[in-house]
Structure 1
Amino acid sequence: MQTALALVAAYLLGSVPFAMIASRLFGLADPRTYGSGNPGATNVLRSGNKKAALFTLIGDALKGWVAVFTAQQMAFSSTVVGLVALAVFFGHLYPIFLKFKGGKGVATAAGVLIALDLGLGLAVLATWIFVAFAFRYSSLAAVLAAAMAPVFSALMHGAGGQILIVGILAMALVGKHWVNIQRLLAGQESKIGSKKKA
C-alpha cells in the first residue's frame, strides 16, 4: 500500500504544470498557444519573460528531485525509488491536470537524475549546457544529454539496476523530442531565446 501511495503521489506531483502556474503568475498567455505549444521552460522563454521561464525550470526540476529524495528518505528499496522516479517523470510527460498532454521532461529528468545520483545528474546537466551553449538548440541538447545518460550510468556504476531506469527516462525523453529531431534535420528548429510567433 505504501508503495502504491508513493507512486500515485509522485505521478500527481509530476503532473503539476509549472509552466501554466508561471504564466498565470506573470500574466502571460497559455504556453500551449504559441511557439512549440509545449508547456515547458524553453517555450515559456519564447514569451520574452525570463523570470517566468526560470520559475518554470526550477519548479519542474524540483518536483523530480523532491519525489525521488522523499522516497529515499522513507527508506524505500532501490526498486521502489526507481519506480517513483519514473512515476514523477511520466507525470510530467502525461499530466492528468492537462489532459495527459505535458512537457518534454528535460528539467524534471534533470531533477530526478540529480536525486538518484548527483554525479550522474551533473554529468548529464553539463552535457546539456555544453550543447545548448555551443549550438543554441534546446532540443539538440536534450536529445544528446539523454542519449549520454545511460552511457554515463554504465561508466560510473556498470550494468546495474539504475541503468534500466535511466535508459527508460532517456528513451522517453528522446521520443518526446521526435518532432524536434525532424525539424533539426530539416533546419527548421527554433533556437534558444527566439521569440514566440505572432
Structure 2
Amino acid sequence: MSPSPLVLSLVLGYLLGSLPFAVIVSRLFGLADPRSFGSGNPGATNVLRTGNKAAAALTLLGDAAKGWVAMALAGALGADAAGIALAGLAAFLGHLFPLFLDFKGGKGVATALGVLAGLSGWLALICAGTWLIVALVSRYSSLAALAAAVAAPAAGWALGLPQTALLVLLAMTGLLLLRHKDNIKRLLAGTEGRLGSKQKNASTGQQERLR
C-alpha cells in the first residue's frame, strides 16, 4: 500500500526542511562552517558574518525556498489545502530540527517566510514589510523577526485564511518566539547587537555567541 499524499507530503517536507543550506553554501564557497563561529546558528545571518554577501543571499534564498517547495510538492502529490499547509509546517520543523545536523538547526525566519508565501502572497508581503519597517526603525534584526512572527497569525486571520493555515501560523509564531528567547533577553537588557554594528567575523575565529 502506497503512503497517502498527506504522509508523503509531511515526510518530504521535513526532509526538505532538513537541508542545511548555510552549511552547504558555505562549503561550496570555501567558507568556515557557520556552526563554528558567531552565533553558531546555521542561517543566513551567521553566514553574512563571513563577509560573503553572495553566500548569505544564497543561504537566505535556499532556506526560504524549502518552505515554498515543500508546499508546492504537496499540492502536486494531491494533498488538500490543509495538507499543503501542514507540509509547510513540516519543512519549518525540519529547519529547526534537521535530520542531517543532529536535530540542531536554525531559527527558521527565512523558512517561515517561504511557508507564508506558500499560504498567501499577500501574507508574505505583509510580514516582509513588517520586518523591513521594524528593522529600519529599530535596527534590530531579531526584533524585526519577532514583530513579523507575531503579525503573521493576525494578518492570516484578516486575509481569511482557513483554520488549518491559521493553526500553522500560530505554531510557527510560538516556535519562532521560543527560538529567539536569548535575543528577547538581550533586547530587554539592551545588549542585543544592531544591524550594521561592527562585529568580528569568521575570519577572526570568533567563538562567542552574539545571537
Alignment TM-score, normalising by the size of structure 2 = 0.89
Q: CA-to-partner distance for each residue in 1:126-145, whole Å, 9 max, x for gaps?
A: 11111122222211111110
User: Does the aligned pair in 2 maintain the 1:48–1:195 contact within 8 Å?
Assistant: no
User: Does the aligned pair in 1 maintain the 2:9–2:73 contact within 8 Å?
Assistant: no
User: Does the aligned pair in 2 maintain the 1:110–1:121 contact within 8 Å?
Assistant: yes
Pairing partner for 1:101 from 101, 104, 125: 104
Q: CA-to-partner distance for each residue in 1:119-163, whole Å, 9 max, x for gaps?
A: 111111111111122222211111110001011111111773321
1:133 aligned onto 2:136 = yes
- How many angstroms does 1:18 deviate by? 0.4
How many pairs align?
Answer: 198
What letter is aligned with 1:172?
Answer: L
Pairing partner for 2:173 from 141, 161, 170: 170
- How many angstroms does 1:189 deviate by? 1.4
Counterparts of 1:81 and 1:159, CA distance in 2:
12
Aligned position for 1:34: 37
- How many angstroms does 1:13 deviate by? 0.5
Counterparts of 2:104 and 2:199, CA distance in 1:
23
List runs of 5+ in structure 1 lacking aligned partners.
none
**Bigger Rg over Cα:** 2
What letter is aligned with 2:188?
Answer: L
| CA RMSD, 1 decimal | 1.5
Aligned position for 1:122: 125
What letter is aligned with 1:6?
Answer: S
Distance 1:48 1:152, change over 3 A: same
Counterparts of 2:150 and 2:40, CA distance in 1:
24
What letter is aligned with 1:102?
Answer: G
- How many angstroms does 1:27 deviate by? 1.4
Pairing partner for 1:58 from 57, 61, 66: 61
- How many angstroms does 1:97 deviate by? 0.5
Distance 1:75 1:112, change over 3 A: same
Kindly report which structure 2 residues correspond to 1:2-21, keeping only aligned pairs within 5 A, or say none: 2=4, 3-21=6-24
Counterparts of 1:57 and 1:16, CA distance in 2:
13
User: Does the aligned pair in 1 maintain the 2:9–2:79 contact within 8 Å?
Assistant: no
List runs of 5+ in structure 2 lacking aligned partners.
207-211
Kindly report which structure 2 residues correspond to 1:144-163, keeping only aligned pairs within 5 A, or say none: 144-157=147-160, 160-163=163-166
Aligned position for 2:209: none
Aligned-pair identity in percent equals 53
Counterparts of 1:4 and 1:52, CA distance in 2:
33
Divergent runs of 4+, >4 A: none
- How many angstroms does 1:7 deviate by? 1.0
